């Protein structure tokens, strides 16, 4: 008799994370709706700030956040993840906006979206498997630091009342969940601090101080640029950078949400979904964007959202808040949103990874990879640079470690005229460079057998090294013979031997 399959708890059941299941559950639907509202409130100052960085009108960033969120909620591969205008994209496009203006920006966003679709269809998401865990930890910790440091300007040169308001907001988010989780604590903090500021007449910076909010809906925007090769040469480098940064941040954020929710997402769909969202955003005059780690953590980790409903409503609420309720939103103290983002940064940091006990037990290479990822990301404010740097350091450590697994052993001397060497390990550029120096060319007899039964050839550098070994023996009138090649190694050796200029 077959035992019944174990029933997964609700938080691990993928079906419980569907839109249909949420619509059938008033409790789940309430969570999704309130999460979307909290995210929308947090998106407003971020979108305005990123617009300023990019050098465009605040409406460009706000409309981009609306269209990105709504579109990705439909076509994306990771449920409950938030996509909107981001700082990374703003930094990339800022020089283009200064030099060429708004029309070239929109053309760039459209091309970037198309590139993301093509790259995703070609399988770029599969490259995620090559990102080591230490890089992921560094990515998360760097995000936490960047989220926190991005709030520092709102704490400098401000009225003294800002500081107790931030402290009260943090206290509410720490202690309110102990009373009830029916209403998200960040939403409570925002409402309480806004009401208190208005009732007491406290003069502190508000959302309205960050920039003008739009008073109309977004409309179709077609860029007025000449369709020439010169235009392509101008926008292509920026578009490619936006596409790569957007894909990298989105796929890494999707993987992070997978870990938080213990569910799997379709990375390929998420990749081309980001491309479609950027194309839609471009046609509505938005600045483009990608996944937002801070708002995603508010949605998933703080508010408990799990479906596409929260993402869709975050975009809808954002538009309603800035267009219809702009006057009310404008009076929200920035201190309330700063408190929310500080708590997000605290929740995002992987505290276990920086625990002294963990660091003592962790290999030095893993710690170095994490630190490099964090330092480069924080220094450049570009997650792509940090992740790429971390991967390069990880590859160097890996290559150095694997290189030492290769050894040459003198295994037999069948007769006075023959000597047999056994080569063991992985043969690639890092290990094969020293291979040529591990043989006794002058002292060996006339016939030398090199047995590769316990080795594997992985690249052309190894074939060149083996050719060089045979050449050195031949120069001394001796015969070197390679045996024991497996099928993959034979393919490398048979195709390239004698064609690589051995010895150079």
Per-residue confidence band for 501, with pLDDT thresholds at 50, 70 and 90:
low
What's the CA angle centered on 94, arms 92 and 100, to 5 degrees? Answer: 115
Which among 309, 9, 277, 7 has a CA at the least distance from the CA of 120? Answer: 277
Place of tokens 């937002």: 292
Q: Which residue did the predictor score with more confidence, 127 or 336?
A: 336
Query: Pick from 184, 203, 210, 204: which is nearest to 322 by CA?
Result: 210
Answer whether residue 231 shows pLDDT above 90: yes
Structure tokens at 136: 């992921």
Identify each DSSP E strand in 244-350 by its residue range.
290-291
**8 Å CB contact between 218 and 284:** yes
Average pLDDT, the chain: 87
Q: What is the number of residues in the chain?
A: 504
For residue 195, give Cα distances in angstroms to 155, 184, 199.
Answer: 20, 17, 6
- CATH homologous superfamily of 405-496 equals STAS domain (3.30.750.24)
pLDDT given for residue 115 in this prediction: 96
Lowest mean pLDDT among 19-33, 257-271, 400-414: 400-414
What residues contact residue 315 under an 8 Å CB cut-off, 6+ apart?
A: 40, 65, 66, 67, 68, 69, 70, 73
DSSP letter assigned to residue 301: I
pLDDT band at 402 (very low <50, low <70, confident <90, very high): confident
Give me the pLDDT at residue 155, please: 92
Q: Is the pLDDT of residue 10 over 70?
A: no
pLDDT for the residue 410: 86
Least confident of 131-135, 195-199, 319-323, 388-392: 131-135
Here the tokens at position 45 are 């100052």
Q: Note the pLDDT of residue 5.
A: 39
Q: Three-state DSSP class for 133?
A: helix
**DSSP three-state, residue 444:** coil
- Bridge partners of 207? none
pLDDT band at residue 16 under the 50/70/90 scheme? low
Place of tokens 């979904």: 273
| Confidence label for 4 from pLDDT (cuts 50, 70 and 90) | very low
Angle among Cα 345, 346, 350 to the nearest 5 degrees reads 100
pLDDT band at 367 (very low <50, low <70, confident <90, very high): very high
The confidence score (pLDDT) of residue 483 equals: 93
Look at residue 196 in the predicted model and tell me its pLDDT: 94
On the question of pLDDT at 8 being above 60, the answer is no
Contacts of 484 (CB under 8 A, 6+ apart): 451, 452, 453, 454, 455
- The pLDDT assigned to 75 comes to 95
Of residues 496 and 2, more confidence is placed in 496
Structure confidence at residue 15 (pLDDT): 55
pLDDT tens digits, 30-76 = 999 999 999 998 888 778 878 877 878 888 989 999 999 999 999 99
pLDDT at 76: 94
Residue written as token pair 């020089």: 95
285 Rama sector, left if φ>0, alpha if ψ -120 to 50, beta otherwise: left
What share of the chain has pLDDT > 90, as a percent? Answer: 43
| Segment 466-489 mean pLDDT | 92
- Could you tell me which residues come within 8 angstroms of residue 487 by beta carbon, excluding any fewer than 6 positions away? none
**In this predicted model, what pLDDT tens digit does every residue of 104-154 receive, in sequence order?**
999 999 999 999 999 999 988 887 777 888 988 898 888 788 878 888 888
The DSSP secondary-structure symbol of 71 reads H
The CATH 3.30.750.24 domain(s) of the chain lie at 405-496
Of residues 95, 94, 60, 100, the one with CA closest to residue 231: 100
Mean pLDDT value of segment 249-263:
88
Task: Assign 327 to helix, strand or coil.
Answer: helix
Q: What is the pLDDT of residues 68-93, one digit of tens each?
A: 999 999 999 999 999 999 877 887 88
Residues ≥6 apart with Cβ < 8 Å to 453:
422, 483, 484, 486
Nearest to 326 by CA among 150, 219, 221, 206: 206
Give the whole-angstrom CA distance, residue 187 versus residue 384.
32
398, 419, 476, 494 from 479: Cα distances, Å: 35, 11, 9, 18
Nearest to 176 by CA among 331, 340, 321, 387: 340
């Amino acid at each position: 008799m077959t035992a019944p399959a174990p029933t997964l708890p609700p938080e691990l059941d993928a079906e419980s994370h569907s839109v249909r299941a949420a619509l059938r559950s008033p409790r789940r639907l309430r969570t999704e709706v309130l999460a979307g509202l909290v995210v929308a409130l947090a998106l407003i100052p971020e979108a305005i700030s990123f617009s300023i960085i990019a050098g465009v009108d605040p409406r460009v960033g706000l409309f981009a956040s609306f269209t990105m969120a709504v579109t990705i909620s439909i076509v994306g591969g990771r449920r409950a993840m938030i996509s909107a205008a981001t700082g990374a994209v703003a930094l990339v496009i800022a020089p283009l906006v200064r030099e060429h203006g708004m029309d070239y920006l929109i053309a760039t966003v459209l091309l970037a979206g198309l590139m993301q679709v093509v790259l995703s269809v070609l399988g770029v998401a599969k490259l995620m498997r090559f990102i080591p865990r230490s890089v992921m930890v560094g990515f998360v910790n760097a995000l936490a630091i960047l989220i926190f440091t991005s709030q520092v300007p709102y704490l400098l040169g401000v009225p003294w009342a800002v500081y107790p308001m931030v402290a009260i907001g943090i206290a509410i988010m720490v202690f309110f969940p102990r009373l009830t989780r029916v209403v998200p604590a960040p939403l409570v903090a925002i409402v309480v601090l806004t009401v208190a500021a208005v009732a007491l007449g406290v003069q502190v910076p508000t959302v309205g101080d960050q920039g003008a909010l739009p008073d109309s809906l977004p409309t179709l925007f077609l860029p007025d640029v000449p369709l020439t090769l010169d235009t392509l040469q101008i926008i292509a480098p920026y578009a490619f950078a936006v596409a790569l940064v957007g894909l990298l941040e989105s796929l890494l954020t999707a993987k992070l949400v997978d870990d938080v929710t213990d569910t799997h997402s379709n990375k390929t769909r998420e990749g081309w979904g980001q491309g479609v969202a950027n194309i839609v955003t471009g046609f509505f005059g938005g600045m483009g964007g990608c996944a937002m780690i801070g708002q995603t953590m508010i949605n998933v980790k703080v508010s408990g959202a799990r479906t596409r409903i929260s993402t869709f409503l975050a975009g809808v609420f954002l538009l309603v808040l800035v267009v219809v309720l702009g006057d009310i939103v404008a009076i929200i103290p920035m201190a309330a949103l700063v408190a929310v983002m500080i708590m997000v940064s605290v929740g995002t940091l992987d505290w276990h990874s920086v625990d002294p006990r963990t660091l003592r037990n962790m290999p030095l290479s893993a710690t170095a990879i994490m630190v490099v990822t964090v330092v480069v990301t924080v220094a450049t404010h570009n997650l792509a640079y940090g992740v790429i740097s971390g991967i390069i350091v990880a590859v160097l450590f890996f290559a150095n470690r694997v290189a030492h697994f290769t050894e040459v052993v003198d295994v037999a001397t069948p007769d006075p005229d023959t000597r047999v060497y056994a080569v063991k390990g992985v043969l690639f550029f890092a290990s094969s460079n020293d291979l040529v120096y591990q043989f006794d060319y002058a002292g060996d007899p006339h016939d030398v057998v090199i047995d590769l039964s316990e080795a594997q050839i992985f690249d052309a550098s190894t074939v060149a090294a083996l050719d060089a070994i045979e050449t050195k023996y031949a120069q001394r009138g001796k015969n070197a013979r390679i045996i024991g090649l497996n099928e993959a190694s034979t393919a490398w050796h048979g195709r390239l031997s004698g064609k690589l200029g051995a010895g150079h």
